[in-house]
């Protein structure tokens, strides 16, 4: 059986890959893709796999946009952090759904369901219906900030921000390109305005983006130290009371 994983969070994709191999080491994972654009390009130039594990929310759009640009010939198992309101729709429009954080038992059952699937009962995915359902329920999060640069205002897209930190009562945003700007918002305010799937308040000084975490170092007594990209000179530890929640966040919960 050939499959691909479409998931924009590298940690979640790697974990799902390991779980699939745990279930059946003969399953061939031919690609791991992170965006609608990348997925469309791959599907247009490669033999479609038997099965696709498809995250709902990708870095550049809802994954339903893939179906607008290419006729997908594979069966779909959705992976999603959205809760019960969408489950019935996923169930009707795909083989199965996996609610994050994905458990090994649920994954095993979904793959077994695919293997027993009667091709005559294949459903056609109504991407417009699912997109509408998700869009109605999605909370709206901040997409950009304006910052003062000299005597000018500069617009900053959230996707270009790596993390925020606070020192001496001033909040700074650090860009992926290793530039930083001061911003007139507290970390508490930023936490409420940013997507909690992407950003996590690890301690009193730092609010970090998942993609900015280069490494997590484990210390005695369950202490965790983060290595961020761009690199910070300070040692950055996660508050001990936040460690369990941080692990669940890293796990896609």
Architecture of the domain made up of 2-137: 3-Layer(aba) Sandwich (3.40)
* CA–CA dist 113, 91 (Å, integer): 12
At 170 the pLDDT is 93
The tens place of each residue's pLDDT in the chain, 253 residues long, gives 999 999 988 888 999 999 999 999 999 999 999 999 999 999 999 999 999 999 888 878 888 889 889 988 888 888 876 655 455 555 555 667 787 778 899 899 989 888 876 544 555 566 666 666 665 555 578 888 988 888 888 889 999 999 999 999 899 999 999 899 999 889 988 988 898 889 999 999 999 999 999 999 998 878 899 999 998 888 999 988 889 899 888 887 6
E-state strands within the chain: 2-6, 28-33, 51-55, 75-80, 96-99, 144-149, 152-157, 161-167, 170-175, 180-183, 199-201, 206-209, 213-219, 223-228, 236-237
* CA–CA dist 245, 250 (Å, integer): 9
Residue with tokens 């994709």: 13
- Alpha helices, H only, 53-182: 65-69, 87-93, 104-115, 127-137
Check if the beta carbon of residue 229 is closer than 8 Å to that of residue 162: yes
Instruction: Report the candidate in 10, 49, 58 with the shortest Cα–Cα distance to residue 31.
Output: 49
Peptide bond into 112 cis (omega under 30): no
Same fold, 2-137 and 144-250: no
CA-CA distances (angstroms) from residue 129 to 7, 90, 182, 228? 21, 10, 42, 39
Cβ-Cβ contacts under 8 Å for 66 (sequence gap 6 or more): 6, 36, 39, 40, 43, 54, 72, 127
At 93 the pLDDT is 56
CA-atom Rg of the chain in angstroms:
20
At 120 the pLDDT is 46
Cβ-Cβ contacts under 8 Å for 152 (sequence gap 6 or more): none
* CA–CA dist 41, 69 (Å, integer): 10
- Alpha helices, H only, the chain: 10-23, 36-45, 65-69, 87-93, 104-115, 127-137, 187-193, 243-250
Check if the beta carbon of residue 63 is closer than 8 Å to that of residue 79: no
- Per the CATH hierarchy, to which homologous superfamily does domain 144-250 belong? LytTr DNA-binding domain (2.40.50.1020)
DSSP 140: P
Domain boundaries defined on the chain? 2-137, 144-250
At 137 the pLDDT is 54
């Amino acid at each position: 059986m050939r499959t691909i994983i479409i998931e924009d969070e590298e940690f979640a994709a790697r974990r799902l890959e390991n779980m699939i191999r745990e279930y059946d080491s003969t399953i061939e994972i031919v690609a791991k893709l992170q965006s609608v654009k990348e997925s469309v390009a791959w599907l247009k130039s490669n033999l479609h796999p038997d099965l696709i594990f498809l995250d709902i929310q990708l870095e550049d759009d809802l994954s339903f946009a893939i179906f607008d640009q290419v006729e997908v010939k594979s069966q779909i198992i959705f992976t999603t952090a959205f809760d019960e309101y969408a489950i019935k729709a996923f169930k009707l429009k795909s083989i199965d759904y996996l609610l994050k954080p994905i458990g090994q038992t649920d994954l095993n059952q979904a793959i077994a369901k695919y293997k027993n699937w009667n091709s005559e009962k294949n459903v056609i995915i109504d991407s417009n219906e699912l997109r509408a359902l998700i869009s109605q329920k999605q909370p709206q999060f901040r997409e950009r900030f304006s910052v003062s640069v000299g005597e000018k205002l500069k617009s900053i897209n959230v996707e270009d921000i790596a993390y925020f930190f606070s020192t001496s009562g001033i909040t700074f945003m650090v860009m992926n390109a290793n530039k930083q700007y001061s911003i007139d918002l507290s970390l508490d305010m930023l936490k409420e305005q940013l997507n909690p799937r992407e950003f996590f308040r690890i301690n009193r000084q730092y609010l970090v983006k998942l993609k900015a975490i280069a490494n997590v170092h484990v210390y005695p007594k369950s202490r965790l130290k983060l290595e961020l990209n761009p690199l910070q000179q300070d040692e950055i530890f996660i508050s001990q009371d936040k460690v369990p929640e941080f692990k669940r966040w890293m796990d896609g919960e």
